[in-house]
């Protein structure tokens, strides 16, 4: 149970520190802006699946939301 | 890092650099991929350079607004140039069929102009006064800022040409 | 009588859906017209093999944008469940009789078959509403509420969260919190853990034995911390850490355990008194801990290959019930012509048994503190293979169909087996077919 918090801290730090140079310029988001590249595409399918797997297995959820996309505004 | 507007000195510095850069981009008889943007020819007029793309959702609101500005103030010396940053020209064309643009469009598919203007986000609008100096930079488009931005333009238009 | 399968942490699923729904979901379709409602509808059929659970559901998700990136989303799901599910009792060489959960009737299972709860029928309605809007240039805030109801189970929950962009919106941090309260009101009353299943009792003859109270509550708190990172023009990575804390009544009131001979492992027999119908063996109601703390790490990669999109995800989960699981999932969306696409899907899931999972209980031995024979808490492996086809019409509407095949196989840990059981373990494995039709349109 204690392995995850350490992993989490590492990941969050990596994200905020190490990722400053990773990414694309604001005008290079044409592919990321496509609906099929959005991480939250298909919310209905995802919710239906989550419900089925939750009812039939011992674990659930984890997907979260936000990010990606056209990066506009 | 972009939360505050740059100081007046910094702005003047950036403005001069940008104006110089933009002037050097002009190349008569350039290859198709090299965008042609010569702001010197618009000296004496207020110039809005607006970066847009087919995949930029707020552009569907900002472009009609710019069309309106062009209609209202074109005769008073407002010039609007839309710089398209779509990697594929076909995408830009498809967008134009849905959202017509009533001002000049320059195609910057390699992002050269975007890089020179140091674009921080999409859409971005750069406004130059009659002297060719960068007066304002706006990132993003929000309905509630329309009026404020329009007032800004009006003020620039009433400023004297030097 | 409700489907047992829904009761287990139903709130958790809905809280997870709530977290999902709260962030103003984007749809899977091309440019949504502003100032209009974008509506996604789906009809889904889920059917297990061998007379087990069948579910039909209707869902609708409506999203409206109000300018300046403010979004409202509403969703409604109605589903009907029928069919039987394993009660937790083990198969026997002889036919077995059980008292139904209501305590008023009995049902029998043929020799050699895994006992399934008698057939039932139940309808569930779930509603969610969520709002999201930006505040300051790099922040968005979201909040949502949800509720669901079926005749023996109710849930209500709320969630809130925000996202913050960094690095020219290449990195997005998100934080979310969800809290839910559930109430379970089992048919026949809440069983006392390890109480013996009693004989069937008529209405006039009084209360059902071994029950304490009409209903029980449970609370669930979910916390999510995650980030989404643009890796390049064609790829995106998302990593989420979640923590979930459930407390209250976490037991399944309809699940039982067989008591077996401690030497042979055969189910013990019993004869009800004359003139009375009742169980043909000794069956005890299960009892689970009143708290469950779970952590999980989920990572997802989305990669574009000239118009084809590969989505690969891995989730690791661990909790204080000692259920550890790994989920690996992949989808590949392949455009077909101008307006269609095909999307194959593969999923693999494996989990380790809960510390209190028991295949059966040994007669005469001291009772453990907690025990459950629910196969969903055993060691298990599951596979899904599916295909989805979608097509966008000339008016910008989209319809899609997907067909999936799910197969689950469980294993009872060796240490939970008694006597001769190792040679004759029968786990209630099953396979299921999932068929879904969806239609998207704008109003």
Respond yes or no: is residue B56 known to be catalytic: yes
- Nearest CA to C178 out of C152, C160, C204 is that of C160
Dist. CA B81–CA C150, nearest whole Å = 59
Mutation pick from B1, B51, B54, B55 vs chain A, by most beta carbons of A within 10 Å, is B55
The single residue of B48, B56, B78, B119 carrying the catalytic annotation is B56
Of B55, B123, B142, the CB nearest to A33: B55
Q: Which CATH class is domain C4-442?
A: mainly beta
Give the closest-approach CA distance of C193 to chain A in angstroms: 20
Given the structure tokens 């409506």, which residue do they identify?
C62
Respond yes or no: is residue B17 known to be catalytic: no
Secondary structure letter of residue C33 according to DSSP: P
On whether ipTM exceeds 0.85, the answer is: yes
- Nearest CA to C255 out of C348, C181, C191 is that of C191
- Nearest CA to B69 out of B53, B80, B60 is that of B80
What pLDDT, on a 0 to 100 scale, did the predictor assign at position A6? Answer: 62
Cα-only R_g, chain C: 24
Buried b (16+ CB within 10 A) or exposed e, B51-60: bbbbbbbbbb
Domains identified in chain A, total number: 1
CB–CB of B55 and A71 under 8 A? Answer: no
Beta strand C54-65 with C308-319 is unpaired
Given the structure tokens 């708290």, which residue do they identify?
C291
Give the closest-approach CA distance of A23 to chain B in angstroms: 13
CB–CB of C137 and B143 under 8 A? Answer: no
Mutation pick from B91, B121, B124 vs chain C, by most beta carbons of C within 10 Å, is B121
Cβ(C324)–Cβ(C318) below 8 Å: yes
Interface residue B50 vs chain A (CB under 8 A):
no
* B114 contacts on C by Cβ (under 8 Å): none
Cβ(C345)–Cβ(A49) below 8 Å: no
Cβ(C265)–Cβ(C419) below 8 Å: yes
* B85 contacts on A by Cβ (under 8 Å): 27
The CATH architecture to which B44-158 belongs is 3-Layer(aba) Sandwich (3.40)
Per domain, the residue ranges of chain C are 4-442
Dist. CA A3–CA C43, nearest whole Å = 41
More confident: C127 or A51: C127
Q: How far is CA A34 from CA A69, C28, C220, C232, C336, in A?
A: 7, 9, 35, 14, 16
Question: For chain B, which residues score pLDDT lower than 70?
Answer: 1-35, 160-162
- Nearest CA to C90 out of C119, C115, C107, C109 is that of C115
Residue B105 in 3-state DSSP?
A: strand
Mutation pick from C137, C140, C172, C234 vs chain B, by most beta carbons of B within 10 Å, is C137
Range of the domain at A45: 30-58
CB–CB of B85 and A33 under 8 A? Answer: no
* A26 contacts on B by Cβ (under 8 Å): 114, 119-122, 124
In B, minimum Cα distance to A31 occurs at B55
Per domain, the residue ranges of chain B are 44-158
What pLDDT, on a 0 to 100 scale, did the predictor assign at position C10? Answer: 39
Average pLDDT over residues C411-421: 94
Interface residue A48 vs chain C (CB under 8 A):
yes
pLDDT in tens, C46-103: 999 988 999 999 999 999 988 788 999 999 999 998 888 999 999 999 999 999 988 8
Tokens representing residue A43 in the block: 């919310």
Answer whether 0.90 is exceeded by the pTM.
no
Tokens representing residue A27 in the block: 């005008």
Average pLDDT over residues C415-438: 95
pLDDT in tens, C270-311: 999 998 999 999 999 999 999 999 999 999 999 999 999 999
- How long is chain B? 162
> Helix/strand/coil (H, E, C) string of C255-300?
CEEEEECCCCCCECECCCCCCCCCCCECEEECECCCEEEEEEEEEE
Cα B80 from chain centroid?
7
What pLDDT, on a 0 to 100 scale, did the predictor assign at position B40? Answer: 85
* B120 contacts on C by Cβ (under 8 Å): 168
C190 has a pLDDT exceeding 80: yes
Tokens representing residue C105 in the block: 């009737």
Which chains are adjacent to chain C, needing at least 3 Cβ pairs under 8 Å?
Answer: A, B
Cβ(C188)–Cβ(C199) below 8 Å: no
The single residue of B59, B85, B92, B119 carrying the catalytic annotation is B59
């Amino acid at each position: 149970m204690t392995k995850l918090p350490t992993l989490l801290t590492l990941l969050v730090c990596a994200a905020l520190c190490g990722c400053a140079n990773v990414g694309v310029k604001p005008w290079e988001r044409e592919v990321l802006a496509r609906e099929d590249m959005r991480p939250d595409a298909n919310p209905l399918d995802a919710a239906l699946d989550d419900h089925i797997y939750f009812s039939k297995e011992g674990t659930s959820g984890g997907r979260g939301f936000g990010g990606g996309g056209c990066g506009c505004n | 890092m972009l939360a505050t507007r740059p100081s007046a000195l910094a702005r003047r510095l950036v403005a001069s650099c940008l104006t110089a850069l933009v002037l050097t981009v002009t190349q008569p008889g350039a290859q198709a991929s090299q965008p042609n943007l010569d702001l010197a020819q618009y000296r004496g007029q207020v110039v809005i350079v607006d970066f847009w793309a087919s995949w930029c959702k707020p552009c569907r609101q900002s472009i009609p607004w710019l069309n309106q500005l062009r209609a209202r103030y074109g005769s008073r010396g407002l010039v609007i140039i839309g710089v398209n940053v779509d990697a594929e020209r076909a995408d830009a064309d498809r967008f134009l069929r849905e959202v017509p643009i009533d001002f000049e469009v320059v195609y910057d598919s390699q992002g050269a102009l975007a890089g020179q203007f140091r674009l921080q986000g999409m859409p971005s609008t750069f406004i130059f006064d009659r002297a060719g100096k960068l007066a304002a930079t706006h990132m993003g488009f929000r309905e509630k800022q329309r009026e404020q931005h329009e007032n800004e333009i009006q003020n620039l238009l009433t400023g004297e040409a030097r | 009588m409700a489907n047992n399968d829904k009761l287990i942490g139903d709130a958790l699923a809905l809280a997870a859906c709530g977290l999902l729904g709260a962030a103003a979901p984007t749809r899977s379709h091309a440019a949504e017209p502003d100032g209009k409602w974008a509506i996604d509808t789906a009809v889904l059929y889920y059917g297990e093999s061998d007379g087990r659970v069948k579910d039909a559901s209707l869902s609708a998700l409506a999203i409206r944008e109000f300018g300046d990136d403010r979004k409202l989303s509403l969703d409604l799901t109605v589903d009907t469940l029928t069919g039987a599910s394993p009660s937790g009792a083990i198969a026997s060489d002889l036919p077995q009789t059980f008292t139904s959960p209501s305590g008023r009737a009995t049902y029998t299972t043929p020799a050699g078959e895994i006992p399934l709860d008698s057939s039932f029928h139940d309808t569930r309605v779930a509603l969610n509403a969520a709002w999201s809007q930006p505040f300051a240039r790099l922040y968005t805030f979201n909040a949502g509420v949800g509720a669901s109801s079926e005749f023996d189970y109710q849930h209500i929950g709320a969630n809130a969260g925000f996202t913050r962009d960094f690095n020219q919106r290449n990195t997005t941090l998100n934080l979310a919190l969800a809290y839910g309260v559930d109430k379970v009101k089992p048919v026949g009353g809440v069983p006392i853990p390890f109480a013996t299943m009693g004989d069937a009792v008529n209405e006039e003859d009084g209360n059902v034995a071994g029950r304490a109270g009409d209903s029980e509550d449970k609370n669930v708190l979910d916390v999510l911390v995650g980030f989404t990172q643009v890796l390049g023009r064609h790829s995106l990575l998302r990593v989420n850490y979640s923590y979930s804390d459930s407390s209250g009544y976490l037991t399944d009131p309809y699940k039982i355990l067989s008591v077996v001979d401690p030497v042979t492992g055969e189910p013990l027999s019993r004869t009800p008194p004359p003139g009375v119908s009742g169980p043909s063996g000794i069956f005890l109601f299960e009892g689970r801990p009143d708290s469950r703390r779970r952590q999980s790490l989920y990572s997802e990669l989305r990669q574009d290959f000239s118009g084809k999109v590969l989505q690969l995800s891995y989730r690791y989960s661990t909790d204080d019930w000692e259920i550890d699981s790994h989920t690996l999932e992949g989808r590949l969306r392949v455009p077909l012509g101008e307006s269609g696409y095909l999307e194959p899907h593969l999923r693999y899931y494996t989990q380790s048994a809960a510390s209190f999972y028991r295949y059966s209980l040994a007669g005469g031995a001291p009772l453990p503190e907690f025990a459950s024979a629910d196969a969903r808490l055993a060691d298990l492996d599951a596979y899904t293979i599916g295909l989805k086809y979608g097509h966008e019409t000339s008016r910008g509407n989209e319809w899609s169909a997907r067909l999936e095949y799910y197969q689950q196989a469980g294993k009872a840990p060796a240490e939970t087996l008694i006597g001769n059981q190792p040679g004759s373990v029968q786990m209630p494995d099953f396979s299921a077919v999932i068929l879904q039709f969806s239609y998207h349109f704008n109003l």
